[in-house]
Amino acid sequence: MTRIKRPAAAVGAAMLLAFSLTACGGAPTDASEEDFCDALADAFEPLISVSGEEPTEEQWEDFQDATGELEDVGTPEGTSDDEREGFEIFVEAVGDADYDDVKDAEGDEFPGVDKDDNDKVTAFIEYATKTCPKAFGIPTDLPSDLTELPTTTE
């Protein structure tokens, strides 16, 4: 190979590698459960503190930013295909949703998500709630036998 072709071939190989790595795309699929739950808690923290029926525009933007960071973390191994697809749809929809879309949303459907995709997002949210209850403010220290709770007498 001539001297000029060798550097050109090296640059071409590097570009091909870069494109092949980005072509796989998407968020990581090997996050630790702890990192995933921490990122999920960070993402939902602005919404958990909502005192009214809908978040403020600032709370929504904070949620969007933190959801972008959640995407960077990805999902843990063992996440089902539907849950994973729901995760991908969820982070994309949150990133694309305008605040006015969120205010105008009705029912259980997420803005910009069709019914089939909404079912996948629901599968992801159910998985996330089960895997990381603290991220949604769900207490995990409740006794398993609720018959042992103290009662009040009048």
| Residue 151 domain-assigned (yes or no) | no
Cα separation, 124 vs 133, whole angstroms: 13
pLDDT surpassing 60 at residue 144: yes
Q: Which domain holds residue 117?
A: 27-136
Pick from 10, 44, 14: nearest CA to 124: 44
pLDDT, one tens digit per residue, over 28-87 is 999 999 999 999 999 988 888 776 667 888 988 999 999 999 999 999 999 999 999 999
pLDDT surpassing 90 at residue 154: no
Grouping H, G, I as helix, E, B as strand and the rest as coil, residue 152 is coil
| Residue 146 domain-assigned (yes or no) | no
- pLDDT range class, residue 10, cuts 50, 70, 90: very low
| Residue 10 domain-assigned (yes or no) | no
pLDDT surpassing 80 at residue 8: no
How many helices (H) and strands (E) would you count in the chain? 6, 0
- Indicate the number of domains in the chain: 1
Count CA within 13 A, CB hemisphere, residue 127: 22
| Residue 8 domain-assigned (yes or no) | no
Res 72: pLDDT: 96
Residues in the chain, how many?
154
